[in-house]
Amino acid sequence: MSEWKSKTVLITGASYGIGEAFAHRLARDGANLILTARSGDRLEALANELRTRHQIGITVIEADLSQSSAPQTLFEKTEAAGLQVDLLVNNAGFGLVGDFDNLPLDRQLEMIQVNVMALVALAHLYLQPMIRRRSGAILNLASTASFQGVPYFSVYAATKSFIMIFSEGLWAECQPLGVRVAALCPGATESNFQVVAGTENHSRPVKMQTPEEVVEVGLKALEDNCAVAVSGFNNRAMVFIERFVPRSFVTRLATKLYRPFSARSVAK
């Protein structure tokens, strides 16, 4: 039996991709769900589908995490509804590819707000009751982009690096407190991410993973109390090999892969 049966799980970014796959998987496990994202209509449709299939409670809360007040408002809504969150899946996030100087600054700052600021705020808010209960878990969505700079994806990779380092530290802080924390690092995964980021036509050296495969790795990381879990054999191999080669070599390789996204290289 799943440890999440009859527990309450809050999933941010549950309207698409990996978040939606977490919702399906945890609903099958018998968890009660709190689903949040901006697309309320998609969340309602997902909630209706899951309610007909599983005997679970589902709460939908629309929230735009690019608003700095959104995490606090979300927390207050779950508190007011008497919902005790046992697992927080800090999944909402997006990327933008292109020349740093050409990408709109407001969108890049919004990315930092959603990927980093909202994630930290939600972890802070929901960790406190978990510590009081001496139980609970937080799963933060990082990326294989966490492990090195990624040219033309520079701000995105930096947000994911932050998430991984933050999660590693918090994992250790929470060890004596009965709360588990993990960073889940997928590589390229089939979802709406590539469309939003502008990377859907990117030729990749490795096959994309499915969101379902990524979800399994995330839940296993929590089960095994791992601080960081990389999803997929190829991605794990890549991250492992990177440790033994100079960072400048890795950056040059990443430049080669991502240069097609530079407007300057297209203009040449």
Ligand X SMILES: NC(=O)c1ccc[n+]([C@@H]2O[C@H](COP(=O)([O-])OP(=O)(O)OC[C@H]3O[C@@H](n4cnc5c(N)ncnc54)[C@H](OP(=O)(O)O)[C@@H]3O)[C@@H](O)[C@H]2O)c1
Enzyme catalytic residues: 156
- Residue 153 in the binding site for ligand X (CB under 6 A): no
Region 195-254 residues binding ligand X, contact defined as CB under 6 A: 196
Binding part of the chain for ligand X, among 27-35, 59-67, 72-80, 241-249 by CB under 6 A, reads 59-67
Closest to ligand X by CB, 93 vs 151, is 93
- CA terminus-to-terminus distance, the chain: 58
d(Cα 133, Cα 152) in Å, to the nearest integer?
43
Q: Is 116 near ligand X (CB under 6 A)? A: no
Which of the ranges 100-108, 131-139, 186-194, 260-268 carries the binding residues for ligand X, by CB under 6 A? Answer: 186-194
Interaction between residue 91 and ligand X (CB under 6 A): yes
Task: Indicate whether 94 belongs to the interface with ligand X (CB under 6 A).
Answer: yes
Q: Does 46 bind ligand X (CB under 6 A)?
A: no
Cα-based angle 109, 115, 118 (whole degrees, multiple of 5):
95
Residue 39 lies near ligand X (rule: CB under 6 A)? yes
For residues 51 and 26, the answer to whether their CB atoms sit within 8 Å is: no
Work out which of 44, 49, 64, 213 binds ligand X, going by CB under 6 A. 64
Alpha helices in the chain (DSSP H): 17-28, 40-53, 70-80, 105-112, 119-133, 154-174, 193-197, 211-223, 233-242, 247-258, 263-267
Rounded CA separation 122/92 (Å): 11
Chain-centroid distance, C-alpha 72: 19
**Site for ligand X contains 114 (CB under 6 A):** yes
Binders of ligand X in range 8-37 (CB under 6 A): 13-19, 37
Measured from the CB atom, is 143 or 262 closer to ligand X? 143
Residues 129 and 197: their CA atoms lie apart, in Å, by 35
**Of 49 and 177, which has the nearer Cβ to ligand X?**
49
- State yes or no: residue 77 binds ligand X (CB under 6 A): no
For the bound state, the minimum distance from the C-beta of residue 138 to ligand X, rounded and expressed in Å, comes to 14
Query: CA angle at residue 45 from 42 to 46, to 5 degrees?
Result: 85
Burial class, 52, CB count within 10 angstroms (exposed 0-12 / middle 13-18 / buried 19+):
exposed
Pairing of strands 58-62, 32-37: parallel
| Contact status: 192 vs ligand X (CB under 6 A) | yes
Interacting span for ligand X (CB under 6 A) from 1-9, 52-60, 183-191, 217-225 = 183-191
In the complex with ligand X, the residue whose CB is nearer, 112 or 196, is 196
Work out how close the CB of 150 gets to ligand X at its nearest, in angstroms, rounded to a whole number.
Answer: 11
Tokens of 45: 């449709």
Binding site for ligand X (CB under 6 A): 13-19, 37-39, 63-66, 91-95, 114, 141, 143, 186, 188-189, 191-193, 196
